[in-house]
A and B are shown apart, each in its own frame.
Chain A
Amino acid sequence: MDLAVKLSGISKSFREKRAVKSLDMEIRPGEVYGFLGPNGAGKTTSIRILMGILEQDSGIREVLGERDITRVRQRIGYLPEERGLYQNMTAPALIAYFGTLKGMDGAYAKKRAKTLLERFGLDDAMSKKIKSFSKGMAQKVQVLATIIHDPDLVVLDEPFSGLDPVNQAVLEDLIGELKRNGKTVIFSTHVMQHAERQCDRLHILANGETQFMGNLKAARKLLPTQLELMCETPPDEAFLKSHGAVLLGEEESGLRYGIDVNGMKVNDILRASIDAGITIDDVSVHRPTLHEVFIHLVKQAEEAQQ
């Protein structure tokens, strides 16, 4: 099966700074692909290379089966991180203009723009100039301008930033709809919950290098599941050492210890605790969140760089 996007060994430097180092990426058609990373990780540079806005110093880029991006530009929708609109245009005119730039017929683009605006609750604002729009309305217009030409690949750079929770939900629904329609979606974000809910696969980038690539389950496996025990009295040293228990905190009801499960069965740990005479007040199993994995990987990358 042809890949929607294939990047192999992509590197890019600005002056002396290497923004992206040997980036590999393979995205299958119909996938929702999350591109995660802290500020300055190289996400936007990678996306710009993917879009053909920037040229890589080395490596191979193949988008929708073509190495020459100009051949497939009309099949891609792109929402950049820093977004702008022509303030003196009306929303239908602007969306239709971007549609014509993607090869749509002018009249059809206008018709579709109006349909999209109606669908996304902007029918009252059709005749108003964009400069009178609220930030949320303007962002909706930007998103609609990205998808007006029904692209096969949709690239969204930080699409949720600046949106209120209601509009974030609208955008999540839209991404879901695109996926259902078989479109490939790539989006970058800082908000891990969006990635957790939406993405089939994730790509975590830090310092321009890939830190992780895979699905959510695999990402979570990067950190151990932890059994948390609330003990009335401190366990003996032998138990702590043998199970690698660490003190997480001291609370009114007792001491909270964490034990990495590390492939052990929770039952076995609990039994061992009871056998060791520990009085357990409360037990919980903590599975690592994507957020924790992300923080862990970024810290690791920073330490490695230092």
Chain B
Amino acid sequence: MKHALLVARHEFIQTITQPAFYISIMIFFGALLLGATLPRFIEESLRKTTDISIVDLSGGHFEGMEQALTRQSAHRDLAEINYFVRENLKPEFEQAPPALYEKSGRMLSEDDISAFRLKGRDAYLQDAMAYVVDDAISPSAPHQRFSIHDRTTEFQKGSGDASAKATQLLNAQSESAPDKRVIIFIPEEFNLAAPQRAPVSIWSLETLGPDFAAGLRNDIDDFIAYESARQKGELETINRFEAAYGDVRFHALDQEFDDEGLREIEFIPWLVEKMPVGLLLLVVILVTTQSVMLLTNTIEEKSNRIVEVMLSSMSPQQFMMGKLLGPMMITIFVGLIMSLGSTAAMMIFTAATGPDTTQAAAALSTQGGNEILSDVVEPLLSGLLPKIPGAFLYFVLAYLTFAGIFLAIGALCTELRQVQSVAAPLNLTLFGLGGLSVIAALAPEENLAHILSWIPLTSPFVMIGRLGSDVALWEYVGTVILQCAVIYLLLRTSGRVFKQAALRSGGLPSLRELRHMMAGRH
């Protein structure tokens, strides 16, 4: 075993000290980053900016208005909270009348949003079901990227009546080339305390779409409601809301926000449920790539005759075990880097750009951040962690099954060209088996999954995919025992072939020769 470990260590070090190894890892992360950011980048690039000038002749309302405009995207956040509540209070929802539950995809009305903001968390929780089935937020509520400026002074410097001054201001804005130019005009006599407030008006050079105008009106209403609540002494409630919302990063509010919000919130249970299938795919890819690497390495060592030196120091079986263990160590190493790197990247990326649902969760939580752990992180960890050892075990079984076969084939070949000609069908076969296993794993209780779980070439893959479902203990134990027995026989046969073929030259052996090799009689 010592020799096998020495060979494995050598293979491992040789691979991970190659620049190409790190280049391939970087390419993986590069592709991951590109895949994750490119659509969002394109979306951001295509999003148009609206230049909003606030002309506050009343004085002292610019900041409040600016905040209100920014808070517009809170619609989106509220929608996410809605989903969060729905997910976390699912039992309550399931007790609700079916008709209501069916309509749960509907969103909050504007009134509900205002009510929520003023009522605060407890009231919202109480009324959560009602919010869900109430009228939806307008799906066409404007999705904005605002550039907000206080242009009161510029406005005042203009000539003519208010309309003429506004036109001048709007024309001057064209320099910065915003797609939409808007002035929110707060008149001098605007007073929140007054029973009949002078109206805040919206001016624009071109006709605003109804949705956009409605959205702005809502923002202004929000501003007024917010400021009024503040003046009425409801600051405590408002502050709680603000504390929760102050740092919330908002997604753009667009027509697809319903689905997107749902996706974000449902990601965790989805991840927990589908992760075994993801692990299955990862294992298929890793087993395939490493098996092919094993093939090419073997032929390389055969062709440069290192194999003969190795066989003068150890038995062919020891050498073969070393050759098997080395790539397995590499695979585990790569798998670890990729898994940890992907998780870290996902967390960083989500924190930087995604909807901060954890903040939203905090708003609903009496214990603040601790609740996040129990609601978000714990389900993820408790769902995934128990599957890791199982996935690792089945990965090792899958790897040993296929790598043993590939290694023996590599030993039979004498030229790289022969390897290339056999590698393609072998790869296809492996991917085919992987694909079949994925199909089976997606319906883990169906007959196909049960049958494939007991076929040695698919068993490890399918069993990884079934880790998320209710598999009887006897099935786990039975498949592992069967697979171990098959691996023992496979490696024994591969060992015989490897021993006799490692120094072989010439063409591929005939079937008769191969049969004799497998029987150890060549």
Is B436 engaged at the interface, CB distance under 8 Å to the other chain?
Answer: no
Mostly, the A contact residues are loop
Question: Are B14 and A82 in contact (CB-based, < 8 A)?
Answer: no
Is B313 engaged at the interface, CB distance under 8 Å to the other chain?
Answer: yes
Question: Are A101 and B314 in contact (CB-based, < 8 A)?
Answer: yes
Residue of B nearest to A89 (CB): B14
Interface residues in B8-59 by Cβ distance below 8 A to A read: 10, 14, 18
Give the interface segment out of A73-81, A165-173, A246-254.
A73-81
Question: Are B308 and A53 in contact (CB-based, < 8 A)?
Answer: yes
A133 to chain B, nearest CB (A): 14
Is A83 engaged at the interface, CB distance under 8 Å to the other chain?
Answer: yes
Is A85 engaged at the interface, CB distance under 8 Å to the other chain?
Answer: yes
Q: Bound complex: CA of A208 vs CA of B306, how far in Å?
A: 25
Is B305 engaged at the interface, CB distance under 8 Å to the other chain?
Answer: yes
Question: Are A80 and B313 in contact (CB-based, < 8 A)?
Answer: no
The residue that A53 contacts in the complex, of B3, B304, B311, with Cβ under 8 A, is B311
Is B309 engaged at the interface, CB distance under 8 Å to the other chain?
Answer: yes
Is A6 engaged at the interface, CB distance under 8 Å to the other chain?
Answer: no
B512 to chain A, nearest CB (A): 11
Question: Are A85 and B312 in contact (CB-based, < 8 A)?
Answer: no
Given contacts A86-B14, A88-B18, A101-B3, contact A76 B312 (CB under 8 A): yes
Is B503 engaged at the interface, CB distance under 8 Å to the other chain?
Answer: yes
Question: Are B315 and A80 in contact (CB-based, < 8 A)?
Answer: no
Residue of A nearest to B322 (CB): A101
Question: Are A82 and B305 in contact (CB-based, < 8 A)?
Answer: yes
Is A102 engaged at the interface, CB distance under 8 Å to the other chain?
Answer: yes
Question: Are B6 and A101 in contact (CB-based, < 8 A)?
Answer: yes
Residue of B nearest to A76 (CB): B312
B317 to chain A, nearest CB (A): 11
Residue of B nearest to A84 (CB): B304
The residue that A73 contacts in the complex, of B301, B312, B503, with Cβ under 8 A, is B312
Contacts of B309 in A (CB 8 A): 78, 80, 83-84, 98, 145
Residue of B nearest to A74 (CB): B313
Question: Are A70 and B315 in contact (CB-based, < 8 A)?
Answer: yes
Is B310 engaged at the interface, CB distance under 8 Å to the other chain?
Answer: yes
Question: Are A73 and B305 in contact (CB-based, < 8 A)?
Answer: no
- Bin the interface of chain B by size: 20 to 34
Q: Bound complex: CA of A53 vs CA of B312, how far in Å?
A: 6
Residue of B nearest to A80 (CB): B308
Question: Are B14 and A101 in contact (CB-based, < 8 A)?
Answer: no
Most buried by A among B313, B314, B503: B313
Question: Are B306 and A85 in contact (CB-based, < 8 A)?
Answer: yes
Question: Are A82 and B18 in contact (CB-based, < 8 A)?
Answer: no
Mostly, the B contact residues are helix
B446 to chain A, nearest CB (A): 48
Interface residues in B183-197 by Cβ distance below 8 A to A read: none
A25 to chain B, nearest CB (A): 18
Q: Bound complex: CA of A76 vs CA of B314, how far in Å?
A: 12
Most buried by A among B309, B312, B315: B312
Given contacts A73-B314, A88-B14, A88-B18, contact A100 B308 (CB under 8 A): no
Q: Bound complex: CA of A212 vs CA of B313, how far in Å?
A: 30
Question: Are A83 and B305 in contact (CB-based, < 8 A)?
Answer: yes
Question: Are A101 and B310 in contact (CB-based, < 8 A)?
Answer: yes
Per-residue contact bits, chain B 287-323, to A (CB 8 Å; 1 contact, 0 not)? 0000000000000010111101111111100000000
Residue of B nearest to A97 (CB): B10
A250 to chain B, nearest CB (A): 49
Q: Bound complex: CA of A88 vs CA of B303, how far in Å?
A: 16
Contacts of B310 in A (CB 8 A): 101
The residue that A102 contacts in the complex, of B306, B308, B313, with Cβ under 8 A, is B313
Question: Are A73 and B306 in contact (CB-based, < 8 A)?
Answer: no
Most buried by A among B7, B10, B310, B314: B10
Contacts of A70 in B (CB 8 A): 315
Per-residue contact bits, chain A 187-199, to B (CB 8 Å; 1 contact, 0 not)? 0000000000000
Is A51 engaged at the interface, CB distance under 8 Å to the other chain?
Answer: yes
Question: Are A101 and B308 in contact (CB-based, < 8 A)?
Answer: no
Is A48 engaged at the interface, CB distance under 8 Å to the other chain?
Answer: yes
Contacts of B305 in A (CB 8 A): 80, 82-84
29 sample A-B contacts, Cβ–Cβ < 8 Å, listed by A number: A48-B308, A52-B312, A53-B311, A70-B315, A73-B314, A76-B312, A78-B309, A78-B312, A80-B305, A80-B312, A82-B305, A82-B308, A83-B309, A84-B303, A84-B305, A84-B306, A84-B308, A85-B304, A85-B306, A86-B14, A86-B306, A88-B14, A97-B10, A101-B6, A101-B7, A101-B310, A101-B314, A102-B313, A145-B309
- Which chain A residues have a beta carbon within 8 Å of chain B's beta carbons? 48, 51-54, 70, 73, 76, 78, 80, 82-89, 97-98, 100-102, 145
Which 6 A/B pairs are nearest by Cβ-Cβ distance? A84-B304, A84-B305, A78-B312, A82-B305, A101-B313, A84-B306
Q: A89-B14, A100-B6 are in contact. List 16 more A-B contacts (CB 8 A).
A: A51-B312, A52-B312, A53-B311, A73-B313, A78-B312, A80-B309, A82-B308, A83-B305, A84-B303, A84-B305, A84-B308, A88-B18, A98-B309, A101-B6, A101-B310, A101-B314
